[in-house]
Amino acid sequence: MENSSAKRLCFARTNEKSNNSHYPNKHHHQIGHKHGEGSAIDYYAYASKIRGWNPSFKVVFSVLTLLLCIVLNNPLVSLAVIVSMAYLTVIKGGLPLRAYLSVLLIPITFIILGTVAIGIDFSSQPIGPFNFSLGSGYLYTSVAKLKEMVFLMLKVFGAISAMFMMTLSTPSSEIIEVLRKAHVPKLIIELMNLIYRYIFILLDVFNTMRNSADSRQGYCDFKTSCVTFGSVASNMLVLSLKKANAYYTAMEARGYEGELLFLEDEKPFQINQVIYPVGFIFFLLLLWYITK
Amino acid sequence: MNTHLNTREKRFIAVVAAIALVFGFTPVASAMHIMEGYLPVGFSIAWGVICIPFLIAGYLSIKKNLKENPKTITLLAMAGAYVFVLSSLKIPSVTGSCSHMTGTGLGAILFGPAPMSILGIIVLLFQSTLLAHGGLTTLGANTFSMAIAGPFAAYGIYKLGLKLKINKRVAVFLAAALGDFFTYLVTSIQLAMAYPSESGGVAASAVKFLAVFAPTQVPLAIIEGILTVVIIIGLETYAQPELSDLGYLTGGVK
């Protein structure tokens, strides 16, 4: 039901894109890493209440915040970014908190492993207040290093939440449109538009194949699943090549001459949507300047 | 149902069980995308700049292809979408731990390494916006490791394997597995350069990152190799004409 409303909103632009939230989510037991999340982000973007904001403005604001978060490299700035972006996405955008958290937690493994590797060092002599003997060498860390770890985590989460503010409120087709306005080469825009549409077509193909293999015990054990995965993947390639030919013929029949043109919603700037973000950016700079 | 197993089958099951045990402990592992915000600004820009010549080469190769045969556009787009979907799929494992293929090895073998740089950067952009893997500021670094270094390594190993006349399937396995492994190596070095160790510098830090990611990445590389072989076998069985079309159009395998 929700999905159909999202579809209705976007049918003018993405007529070929299929029902994306049908991508079944079989493994609920894992926190923070659910598959089909990709189409979920796309779905949230269409359902967001701040989707009506001007997309160029959202992209610029999100990238600017993201850059400030990284350049200023200040834990307080990171915290301010995390809180305000969560406010924009969850309260203004109307995304359920649980959904937001589950999207935020997708990269958690990388963050934990990556920061642990930075925080913990090894050496042949025991250095630092906390060390752990490994026979031939020592693993050690210090308060300063642990602090660096926590600050880095904050920075990464700040940067991620700034990016998610954009991706969870701006459908990819609008982001591509912004890139086109920014004079990214036409060929790349063309490929992006096509790839974006084909992703959902192939996901549909994959789901059908997976279901039919599953109902025939194709995933009953590890060896069978490997064989099934391989045959599904190779069949998917064969089908996608066939579809590629058919789509080109269809496009040519409709007068395709190397550029896809889409009808675009007019989403004008609203002045009060600009005042707050500009104020916010000055606030971040001020915060950084005071706590430098 | 016949439950008696011969020795070969038993041995096979033992090996599979051992592999399963290893994978069972594998935590959630996506391909090694460097997360948004993880690299300092200087490194983000530097890696982006390093990618530019490869991207231009890829762009020109695609443009030339399109001029000769405009139909290639849908084919290339399908290739990109295929790599994206492949990399978003959960690959089989016994315990339900999640990992993904990178798909770059297969992509390089099928489509050739040159167009992979452009397709790769687009796929990585969609992975960061649609899947939350990777990010915008780390796009340059990720493009270098996954869309340039990995595919070129995989393609080189594949061609070398064919030249040395080793079994084609072994060559495909080595190309995909080592291509994946090379990506992991490059990513670790990228991380180490951004965050060198206090006592040992970049080299020590690289060893740390390699060690930390090894439990997720080494099994992943091996399983990616196996799956790529299974996919290629499937393609050779069912899609010989399409494969030769693909080689003809994009300079990949013939």
Q: Which of A163, A169, A210 should we substitute to test contact with B (largest number of B Cβ atoms within 10 Å)?
A: A163
- pLDDT of B14: 59
Q: Is the ipTM of this complex over 0.85?
A: no
Q: What pLDDT is recorded for position A260?
A: 82
Instruction: Note whether A153 and A198 are same-domain residues.
Output: no
Helix, strand or coil, per DSSP, at residue A160? helix
pLDDT digits (tens, 9 = 90+) for A242-283: 888 889 899 989 888 878 888 877 777 777 777 888 888 888
Q: Give the mean pLDDT of B148-163.
A: 90
| A189 shares a domain with A87 | no
Q: Is the pLDDT of residue A21 over 50?
A: no
Nearest by CB: A118 against B195, B239, B246: B195
Nearest to A37 among B41, B131, B233 (CB): B131
Question: Exposed (0-12), middle (13-18) or buried (19+): which is B5, by Cβ within 10 Å?
Answer: exposed
C-alpha distances in Å from residue B12, one per residue of A193, A262, B177:
46, 54, 21
Residue A36 has pLDDT above 50, yes or no: no
In eight-state DSSP terms, residue A267 is -
Q: In terms of domains, do A61 and A197 share one?
A: no
Q: Which of B218, B173, B217, B210 has its CA nearest to residue B31?
A: B217
Q: Do B96 and A237 touch (CB under 8 A)?
A: no
> How close is the nearest chain A Cα to the Cα of B212, in Å?
6
B96 touches chain A (CB under 8 A): yes
Tell me the nearest-neighbour CA distance from A270 into chain B, angstroms.
25
pLDDT of residue A39: 61
Look at B172 and B241; give whichever has higher pLDDT: B172
* Residue B212 pLDDT exceeds 80: no
**What average pLDDT does the structure give for chain A?**
79
Q: How confident is the model at residue B52 (pLDDT cuts 50, 70, 90)?
A: very high
Write down the pLDDT at residue A28.
Answer: 37
Same domain, A67 and A176: yes
Alpha-carbon torsion angle A48, A51, A55, A61, nearest 10: -50
CB atoms within 10 A of CB A136: 7
What is the number of other CB atoms lying within 10 angstroms of the CB of residue B160?
Answer: 13
What is the count of structural domains for chain A? 2
Identify the residue among B65, B94, B131 best suited for mutation to test binding to A, counting A beta carbons within 10 A and taking the highest: B131
**Residue B93's pLDDT is what?**
58
Could you tell me which of A292, A54, A264 has the C-alpha nearest to residue A169? Answer: A54
Residues in A closer than 8 angstroms to B229, CB to CB, are 230
**Whether residue A7 is found in the same domain as residue A106:** yes
Confidence of residue B51 (pLDDT cuts 50, 70, 90): very high
Tens digit of each residue's pLDDT (9 = 90 or more) over A219-250: 888 888 888 888 888 888 888 888 888 898 99
Looking at the fold, whether A71 and A168 belong to one and the same domain comes out as yes
Rounding to the nearest 10 degrees, give the CA dihedral for residues A63, A66, A70, A76. Answer: 150
Q: How do A121-123 and A130-133 pair as beta strands?
A: unpaired
Question: Would you state the pLDDT for residue A83?
Answer: 92
Q: Which of B78, B127, B209 sits opposite A117 (nearest CB)?
A: B209
Q: Is the pLDDT of residue B49 over 90?
A: yes
What confidence tier does B8 reach under pLDDT thresholds 50, 70, 90?
A: low
Dist. CA A114–CA B208, nearest whole Å: 10
Residue with the two structure tokens 């592999």? B19
- A27 with A93, same domain: the answer is yes
Percent share of chain A, pLDDT over 90: 13
Least confident of A25-34, A95-104, B8-17: A25-34
Phi-psi domain of A49 (left: phi exceeds 0; alpha: psi -120 through 50; beta: other): alpha
State the DSSP string of B203-243.
HHHHHHHHHHHHHHHHHHHHHHHHHHHHHHHHHHHH-HHHH
Q: How confident is the model over B71-83, as pLDDT tens digits? A: 888 888 888 898 8
Residues in Cβ contact with B4 at an 8 Å cutoff, skipping those fewer than 6 apart: none
Q: Is B145 part of the contact surface with chain A (CB cutoff 8 Å)?
A: no
Q: Are residues A190 and A179 in the same domain?
A: no
- Confirm if B76 and B115 have CB atoms less than 8 A apart: yes
Which residue has better confidence, A218 or B50?
Answer: B50
- Tell me the average pLDDT across B25-32: 46
Which domains are seen in chain B, by residue range?
38-250 (1.10.1760.20)
Residues shown for chain A? 292
pLDDT in tens, B73-115: 888 888 889 888 888 777 665 444 556 777 788 888 887 888 8
Which residue bears the tokens 């060390």?
A131
Q: Are residues A271 and A257 in the same domain?
A: no
Query: Residue A194: pLDDT above 60?
Result: yes
Q: Which of B40, B78, B93 sits opposite A243 (nearest CB)?
A: B78
CB contact under 8 A, A192 and B125: yes
Provide the domain limits for residue A45. Answer: 2-184+262-291
Mean pLDDT over residues B152-159, rounded? Answer: 91
Same domain, A148 and A268: yes
- Are residues A224 and A109 part of one domain? no
User: Are residue A22 and residue A162 in the same domain, yes or no?
Assistant: yes
pLDDT at A129: 67
